[in-house]
Structure 1
Amino acid sequence: MNDIQVKNLKKRFGDFDVLKDISIEIKSGEFLAILGPNGAGKSTLLKIMTTLLKHYEGKVEIFGYDIEKYPKKVREQIGVVSENFILYDRLTAMENMVFFGELYHLSRETALKRAEKLLKDVEMWEWRNKKVGKFSFGMKQRVNIVRALMNDPKVVFLDEPTASLDIKSALTVKRLLKEINASNKTIVFTTHILSEVEELATKIAILNLGQLVAFGAPAELSIMAEDQKDLIVEVEKNDSKNYKAFFDKSGIKLEMTGNTMKFFYSDGNELEKIIKLISESKIPVRSINSSDRNFDRIFLKLTDKGRDKN
């Protein structure tokens, strides 16, 4: 089942096309990361999906509701963490939580119980009676995130939730998001931190210059980018001519420099074949190391492709 369906979405600001014919489907329980260089259209896409931005072409449905026709129905079932804090500095953390809970028509008793659990989840319980205006940036962001969870939303949208956070706060936020996603809630977030994408996301959308240049699971994007992994083998003696001839017969990609052999593979089956052939060749091996190409390279390659199209 799709929680979110975006069809042929276009958005212009004046003469500038911010989003160009975006179509994506997000299934229930997925953890979607929206990536892209500055100005790619990430925040605009998020604002439209959360009913915060209007006047666009195309269609967006959440839980089957057209967000233009039924914005109230949609807002009741989503949580939003925007780039700006949605908190009142003069209220305490607990007062903020109860206030927003009551906006969602929670009873005071339910709001208090939910606030206690959430503030404990982000290690802010001991500051519950302190005014938010006196909090550090990281403390405010933790309260801001759990504020968005007071209505027990089915989908949570977050715009760069860990940007500018200290390490401890970022780890706390990521742990909470993993727990939320594990309870079969859908999460959609934008980020510039690619290590977070590798750690959290089950699905990735990459935007560039308003276009969707890639959409899929991390492994699928790796294939789209024609990404490969390296197996580096150090041998005891240099006999590159004979070594290369042996592997060329098997169709294995190999580079030989001095006593170093570098094999290229894209999946576990290819790796298993290479290791088997190394064993059969009886090459005197000194060491073997495997190094996956990281997601930074995949991201750069895919966004470069997007630029080439424009």
Structure 2
Amino acid sequence: MKYSFLLIGGPTASKKTELAIHIASKIPAVIINADSMQFYQDFKILNNRPNSNQLKKNEFKLFGNIQIPNFPNLGWWNKIIEEEISNTIKRNKLPIIVGGTGLYLSALEKKPSFVPKIKLSVKQEIEKLHEKFGLDFLYKKLKDCDQYSYKKLNQNDTHRILRALEVKKSTGKTLRFWQEKNRDEKSDDKKKYYYIVLTPDKKDLYNQINLRFMEMIKKGAIKEVEIFKKKNVNQNHPIYKMIGLKYLVNYLENKITLEEAISSSQRDTRRYAKRQITWFKNQTVNSNRLSFDDATKFFSLSTCKNYFLF
């Protein structure tokens, strides 16, 4: 069987983009982003977007295409990724969807759950409650109407807490109800994909994470954050989940030293990678787990021609 598109997942700093570029050198392809932080236009260094040399030699899509205050979500992703895959296939090129946001990759394995459109009046009501009483009040309110979300969500996760309350208030059902609705249904049989999950050695991965953040600092991550800081973006915006951002902001505000900012960012990245490893191990439906070296050896010219339609 030949496949229509390729998924590449794995933890941060596992060389996913490098593998995609390797494959794109063997067969006509478009590399499509599936990393929630690399969608943002404001950052090139701190979110480790492809560099200028890589951009010149390869075709990339959905990198740096969202301007704040907008932000990506699963509904937006489900719509735009279908368009990108379809357009790429029409041009006789292989869509390579690459990223570490498992939820987005998972949406291509399973039918996305349908959540009815939230009423504007409900959104406004929840926002007013947030402004008047604060996040702690809404988090406690969530406990009364959606126990699953209350236990699952971090009490400081403003965006998801508000979202869970909006869904419950607007539809009468919890967010989990809608997420589970089509959980076991497979994607359209016509959507044949091959899925690689990179599995680096943990010690090597953590070392690479530490080195990569130091390289970001050398390339100008602090200046990038300084420019972003001048925009006065609301700190409830999902962009602040970007690892390293809050620590570098604190450094610029003289709240912590640069050494503390770097150390904390490296630590949080390692923790994030550990969570990603667990997620990809337990949540992927039909993935093939390989090291970067084994994956590059596997995807020879003959393999690409034999495995893919293009």
TM-score tier (shorter) = under 0.3
Q: Which structure shows the bigger proportion of residues in strand conformation?
A: 1
RCO higher in structure (CA 8 A, sep ≥6) = 2
TM-score (norm 2): 0.26
Q: Which structure shows the bigger proportion of residues in helix conformation?
A: 2
TM-score (norm 1): 0.26
Structure exhibiting the larger radius of gyration computed from Cα positions: 1
